[in-house]
């Protein structure tokens, strides 16, 4: 592609530079911390040093006496306002500020509002809290022991740490195929607790206008409308008097889906002081207290014939949700979409049960690039398939090829009840194997093994279920997961698209303009995308679970088609023909059989606002609205091949190559899709090789900085080799599927499979993430010690 082509603006889908980058690369974005209001005060949170302790007293008098402090808020103060506890996204409750006990290290205990950020922080040290330490529960298994300390004694009648039991699939049928199987391979594995760690931490500026009663909150939220409704419900504020503005966001990755204590405290602080209050986390606070993902302790069993036909899967999971169940997922799915753990394979039966437990850790289970636990599910099944290949002595590519679903099986109803919309899996795997020169890689590996060198080739094939979701099945706290869109076309043919979803860096201002451009033939440059302000946009559930393209993207296409239909009626009046005689080509309606007789969308827009006599049924203007309720999820998929070299002496892993062939249906902007895949692949390398949020046995959090919690850089990543296949979604208006999380979902298994494959000559069959040099070295020594 030449530079000229790259820069030409496509009249619709295609590669195009991101419109928003004009401000981002000039440092002209507006993030929450850039918001400065007249008279604005600053808040800071006092956090618990203990993982588990009873609070016997709090003395705030010295902090209140600090000359720059305007307010100090404790849990007791909030209790007086009935705000000490707030609902979580999973229907649990979470302490905004602790009243009775602290239940994780870093939990919010008090909030200071001062004239500047430094004074607020200084004053925290003047608060005197009496803690009576209690034994912490750090281990998920320990949490279930009968004598384990009860963490959530705030919940009435609670005598243990058990949150939920959930199962899916057919147990009897699964037991039956296991009884008939020639081979059963079993593997315990841990998907460690990890953190989304967006570059921008979480924060809010709350401004309660006492005169109008209007509350405006500039905040880091991936779901502005859902936040507005929740504030209304929790604080009893009238919803039309709440405005949530989510300005530019420096990454979300699921970290900015929920409501955090600091946001609520900023609102209360503004209400008490009558001034705007800003609260912004620092890096350690972000890593300690807001959002964790995974922490799934899984046992998987896979049953097969000796010829390598997979028959069934049986899985048990112990899910560590931390001290409050803050998991973000549709209500009916306590283990998210883990139910898609049967992956991309044609199997006879499957069953899984998941038990959720409380521990003395920060609330966990956020949808960090996981499409609601699909990351865990894909990791599980892709590791199991490799373990089975190991046990059968089969090539993992061949084993996968033999069991993948075939194109004629779509739409495919999985054994756990998911309806996969479309796919040609073997074609995608073949493309990846060809790009990687798989056979040559295996030959190279064999030669290296002769020389005692450790080279590994890892495969992963994933299927995701994204675009939550059909209102009938999916809601969050009772809010159905449909998305609104509004499109206005001005008299001169320029347009404004208003969306309910919110971009954290995905480039929605570009891709959503392209969706409308494709449908109407108006240049993307002439279409402004408005999002992230509840006063300016229609209701919808926000951006996470790669749902924007599947849901809001569909809404954008449908609303544009509605505009096109209105334009057709206006054009028929302009051309004095029946609408039935008109034909559309991108950008204009013309008379069938007479291409010269036509009107462009711009001409039509002007006429719709002018003095033209409009036909019955059309009042004027072309504007339209839409609420899109998706009929199903979309099912993107992909085949990944990872090549690693392992230094047996140091345990160092070098990811030498990574081939990723993604199929997300029709690509709106291939350049943006590739960027999304690059980011997700880097994420996957980070999780597979470097990341875990560790705790010691006292519940001390040991990952509070980027010196401890490592982020992958270009040094750890190879130059990605991307490929694609395109299988449109049959039910999506433009055939697109989500892609934002695909690479994070698919890549960890490929990397781990590669490292384990490298260690195969040493008899290694499995090793848990993160495969740090120490972990690899220990695995190579035959020690199963976990990191």
**Residues binding ligand PCD: number (CB under 6 A):** 38
We find the least distance from the C-beta atom of residue 335 to ligand PCD, in angstroms, to be: 15
Query: Exactly one of 483, 741, 757, 768 binds ligand PCD (CB under 6 A); which one?
Result: 741
We find the least distance from the C-beta atom of residue 512 to ligand PCD, in angstroms, to be: 7
Cα angle 632-738-540, degrees, rounded to a multiple of 5: 70
* Between 139 and 281, CB nearer to ligand PCD: 281
Range 52-73 burial, b when 16+ CB lie within 10 A, else e: bbebeebebeebeebebbbbbb
Query: Exactly one of 458, 738, 746, 770 binds ligand PCD (CB under 6 A); which one?
Result: 738
* Between 672 and 759, CB nearer to ligand PCD: 672
Q: What is the DSSP string of 611-632?
A: T--PPTT--S---EEEEE--SS
Binding-site string for ligand PCD from residue 180 to residue 209, where x marks contact by CB under 6 A and - marks none: ------------------x-----------
Which span sits near ligand PCD by CB under 6 A: 251-259, 568-576, 651-659, 776-784? 251-259
- Bridge partners, residue 41, by sequence: 277
Task: Say if strands 475-476 and 454-463 run parallel, antiparallel, or are unpaired.
Answer: unpaired
Secondary structure (3-state) at 700: coil
* Between 488 and 667, CB nearer to ligand PCD: 667
* Between 252 and 396, CB nearer to ligand PCD: 252
We find the least distance from the C-beta atom of residue 341 to ligand PCD, in angstroms, to be: 18
We find the least distance from the C-beta atom of residue 669 to ligand PCD, in angstroms, to be: 4
Which span sits near ligand PCD by CB under 6 A: 63-71, 318-326, 503-511, 558-566? 503-511
Which span sits near ligand PCD by CB under 6 A: 42-50, 506-514, 649-657, 696-704? 506-514
Q: Is 541 in the site for ligand PCD (CB under 6 A)?
A: no
Which span sits near ligand PCD by CB under 6 A: 186-194, 296-304, 407-415, 734-742? 734-742
Which span sits near ligand PCD by CB under 6 A: 30-38, 304-312, 614-622, 738-746? 738-746
Tokens of 153: 């004694």
Query: Exactly one of 445, 546, 602, 727 binds ligand PCD (CB under 6 A); which one?
Result: 546
Cα angle 316-321-325, degrees, rounded to a multiple of 5: 125
Nearest partner of 560 among 519, 512, 510, judged by Cα: 519
Task: Say if strands 128-133 and 242-245 run parallel, antiparallel, or are unpaired.
Answer: unpaired
How many CB atoms sit inside 10 A of residue 489's CB? 30
Which span sits near ligand PCD by CB under 6 A: 143-151, 304-312, 351-359, 542-550? 542-550
Query: Exactly one of 191, 260, 324, 544 binds ligand PCD (CB under 6 A); which one?
Result: 544
Tokens of 741: 């999380």
Q: Left (φ > 0), alpha (ψ -120 to 50) or beta: where does 542 sit?
A: left
Interacting residues with ligand PCD between 318 and 377 (CB under 6 A): 367-369
Cis-peptide into 770, omega within 30 deg: yes
Tokens of 514: 């392209």
Which span sits near ligand PCD by CB under 6 A: 68-76, 106-114, 249-257, 381-389? 249-257
Q: Is 247 in the site for ligand PCD (CB under 6 A)?
A: no
Q: What is the DSSP string of 118-186?
A: HHHHHHHTT-EEEEEE-----SHHHHTSTTSPPS-TTSTT--SSEEEEEEEE-HHHHHHHHHH-SEEEE
We find the least distance from the C-beta atom of residue 504 to ligand PCD, in angstroms, to be: 4
We find the least distance from the C-beta atom of residue 407 to ligand PCD, in angstroms, to be: 19
Query: Exactly one of 343, 598, 679, 699 binds ligand PCD (CB under 6 A); which one?
Result: 679
Query: Exactly one of 75, 247, 252, 686 binds ligand PCD (CB under 6 A); which one?
Result: 252
* Between 112 and 223, CB nearer to ligand PCD: 223
Contact (CB, 8 A) for 121 and 279: no
Please give the Cα distance from 454 to 445 (Å, whole number): 8
Binding-site string for ligand PCD from residue 680 to residue 719, where x marks contact by CB under 6 A and - marks none: ----------------------------------------
Q: Is 463 in the site for ligand PCD (CB under 6 A)?
A: no
* Between 204 and 457, CB nearer to ligand PCD: 204
We find the least distance from the C-beta atom of residue 195 to ligand PCD, in angstroms, to be: 11
Secondary structure (3-state) at 659: strand
Interacting residues with ligand PCD between 634 and 673 (CB under 6 A): 664-669, 672-673
Secondary structure (3-state) at 11: coil
Task: Say if strands 721-724 and 653-663 run parallel, antiparallel, or are unpaired.
Answer: parallel
Which span sits near ligand PCD by CB under 6 A: 172-180, 544-552, 608-616, 698-706? 544-552
Nearest partner of 144 among 362, 373, 321, 352, judged by Cα: 321
We find the least distance from the C-beta atom of residue 338 to ligand PCD, in angstroms, to be: 14
* Between 507 and 704, CB nearer to ligand PCD: 507
We find the least distance from the C-beta atom of residue 320 to ligand PCD, in angstroms, to be: 18
Query: Exactly one of 403, 428, 548, 691 binds ligand PCD (CB under 6 A); which one?
Result: 548
Query: Exactly one of 330, 396, 540, 545 binds ligand PCD (CB under 6 A); which one?
Result: 545
CA dihedral 701, 84, 237, 40 (to 10 degrees): -60
We find the least distance from the C-beta atom of residue 717 to ligand PCD, in angstroms, to be: 16
Secondary structure (3-state) at 660: strand
* Between 445 and 502, CB nearer to ligand PCD: 502
We find the least distance from the C-beta atom of residue 428 to ligand PCD, in angstroms, to be: 15
Contact (CB, 8 A) for 637 and 428: yes
CA dihedral 158, 163, 168, 172 (to 10 degrees): -50
* Between 139 and 424, CB nearer to ligand PCD: 424
Please give the Cα distance from 381 to 339 (Å, whole number): 11
* Between 341 and 368, CB nearer to ligand PCD: 368
Range 536-546 burial, b when 16+ CB lie within 10 A, else e: ebbbbbbbbbb
Burial class (CB in 10 A: 0-12, 13-18, 19+), 105: buried
Query: Exactly one of 185, 355, 543, 572 binds ligand PCD (CB under 6 A); which one?
Result: 543
Nearest partner of 54 among 134, 108, 157, judged by Cα: 134
Tokens of 453: 């060198």
Which span sits near ligand PCD by CB under 6 A: 203-211, 279-287, 385-393, 732-740? 732-740
* Between 539 and 777, CB nearer to ligand PCD: 539
Q: Is 506 in the site for ligand PCD (CB under 6 A)?
A: yes
Long-range Cβ contact pairs of 760-764 (< 8 A, separation 24 or more):
760/390, 760/456, 761/449, 761/454, 762/454, 762/648
DSSP 8-state assignment for residue 770: P
* Between 169 and 540, CB nearer to ligand PCD: 540
Which span sits near ligand PCD by CB under 6 A: 374-382, 527-535, 537-545, 600-608? 537-545
Going from the C-alpha of 70 to that of each of 3, 58, 98, the distances in angstroms are: 56, 18, 21
Query: Exactly one of 547, 564, 568, 657 binds ligand PCD (CB under 6 A); which one?
Result: 547
Q: Is 511 in the site for ligand PCD (CB under 6 A)?
A: yes
H or E segment and range at residue 757: helix 742-758
Contact footprint for ligand PCD (CB under 6 A)? 198, 222, 251-254, 367-369, 504-508, 511, 543-549, 664-669, 672-673, 676, 679, 736-741
């Amino acid at each position: 592609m030449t530079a000229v082509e790259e820069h030409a603006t496509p009249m619709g889908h295609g590669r195009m530079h991101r419109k928003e980058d004009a401000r981002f690369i000039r440092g002209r974005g507006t993030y929450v911390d850039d918001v400065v209001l007249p008279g604005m005060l600053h808040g800071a949170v006092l956090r618990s040093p203990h993982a588990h302790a009873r609070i016997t007293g709090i003395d705030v008098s010295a902090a209140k006496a600090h000359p720059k402090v305007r307010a100090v808020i404790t849990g007791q103060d909030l209790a007086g306002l009935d705000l000490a506890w707030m609902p979580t996204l999973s229907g649990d409750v979470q302490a905004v500020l602790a009243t009775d006990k602290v239940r994780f290290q870093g939990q919010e205990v008090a909030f200071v509002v001062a004239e500047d950020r430094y004074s607020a922080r200084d004053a925290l040290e003047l608060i005197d809290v009496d803690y009576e330490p209690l034994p912490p529960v750090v281990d998920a298994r320990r949490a279930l022991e009968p004598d384990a300390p009860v963490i959530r004694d705030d919940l009435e009648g609670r005598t243990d740490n058990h949150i939920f039991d959930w199962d899916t699939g057919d147990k009897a049928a699964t037991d039956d195929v296991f009884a008939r199987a020639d081979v059963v391979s079993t593997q315990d594995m841990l998907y460690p607790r990890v953190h989304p760690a967006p570059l921008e931490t979480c924060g809010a500026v709350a401004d309660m206008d006492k005169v109008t009663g209007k509350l405006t909150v500039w905040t880091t939220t991936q779901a502005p409308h859902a936040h507005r409704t929740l504030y209304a419900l929790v604080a009893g504020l009238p919803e039309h008097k709440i405005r949530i503005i989510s300005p530019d966001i420096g990454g979300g990755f699921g970290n900015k889906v929920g409501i955090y204590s600091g946001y609520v405290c900023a609102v209360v602080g503004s209400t008490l002081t009558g001034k705007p209050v800003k609260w912004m986390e620092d890096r350690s606070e972000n890593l300690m207290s807001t959002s964790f993902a995974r922490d799934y302790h899984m046992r998987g069993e896979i049953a097969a014939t000796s010829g390598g036909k997979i028959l069934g899967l049986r899985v048990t999971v112990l899910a560590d949700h931390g001290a409050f169940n803050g998991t973000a997922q549709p209500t009916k799915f306590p283990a998210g979409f883990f139910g898609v753990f049967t992956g991309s394979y044609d199997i006879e039966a499957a069953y899984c049960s998941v038990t959720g437990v409380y521990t003395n850790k920060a609330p966990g289970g956020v949808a960090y690039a996981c499409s609601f636990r699909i990351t865990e599910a894909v990791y599980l099944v892709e590791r199991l398939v490799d373990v089975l290949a190991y046990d059968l002595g089969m090539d993992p590519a061949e084993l996968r090829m033999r069991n993948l679903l075939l194109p004629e099986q779509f739409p495919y109803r999985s054994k756990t009840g998911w309806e996969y919309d479309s796919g040609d899996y073997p074609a995608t795997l073949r493309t990846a194997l060809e790009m990687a020169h798989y056979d040559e890689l295996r030959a190279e590996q064999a030669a290296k093994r002769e020389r005692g060198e450790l080279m590994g080739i890892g495969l992963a094939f994933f299927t995701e279920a994204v675009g939550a979701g059909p209102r009938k099945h999916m809601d969050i706290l009772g809010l159905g997961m449909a998305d609104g869109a509004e499109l206005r076309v001005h008299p001169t043919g320029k347009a404004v698209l208003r969306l309910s979803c919110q971009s954290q860096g995905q480039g929605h201002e570009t891709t959503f303009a392209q969706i409308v451009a494709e449908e109407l033939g108006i240049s993307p440059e002439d279409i402004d995308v408005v999002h992230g302000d509840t006063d300016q946009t229609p209701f919808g559930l926000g951006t996470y679970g790669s749902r924007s393209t599947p849901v809001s993207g569909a809404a954008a296409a449908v609303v544009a088609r509605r505009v096109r239909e209105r334009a057709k009626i206006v054009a028929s009046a302009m051309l004095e023909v029946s609408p039935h005689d008109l034909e559309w080509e991108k950008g204009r309606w013309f008379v069938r059989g007479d291409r010269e007789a036509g009107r462009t969308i711009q001409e039509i827009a002007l006429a719709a606002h002018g003095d033209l006599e409009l036909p019955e049924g059309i009042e004027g203007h072309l504007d339209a609205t839409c609420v899109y309720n998706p009929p199903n999820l979309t099912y993107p998929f992909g085949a990944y091949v990872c090549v690693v070299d392992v230094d047996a002496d140091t345990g160092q892993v070098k990811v030498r190559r990574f081939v990723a062939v993604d199929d997300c249906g029709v690509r709106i902007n291939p350049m943006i899709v590739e960027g999304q895949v690059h980011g997700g692949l880097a994420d996957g390398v980070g999780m597979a090789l470097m990341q875990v949020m560790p705790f010691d046995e006292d519940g001390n959090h040991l990952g509070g900085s980027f010196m401890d919690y490592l982020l992958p850089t270009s040094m750890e990543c190879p130059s990605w080799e991307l490929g694609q296949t395109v299988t449109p979604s049959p039910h999506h208006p433009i055939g697109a599927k989500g892609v934002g999380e695909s690479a994070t979902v698919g890549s960890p298994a490929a990397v781990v499979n590669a490292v384990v494959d490298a260690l195969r000559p040493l008899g290694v069959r499995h090793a848990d993430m993160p495969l740090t040099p120490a972990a690899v070295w220990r695995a190579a020594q035959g020690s199963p010690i976990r990191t």
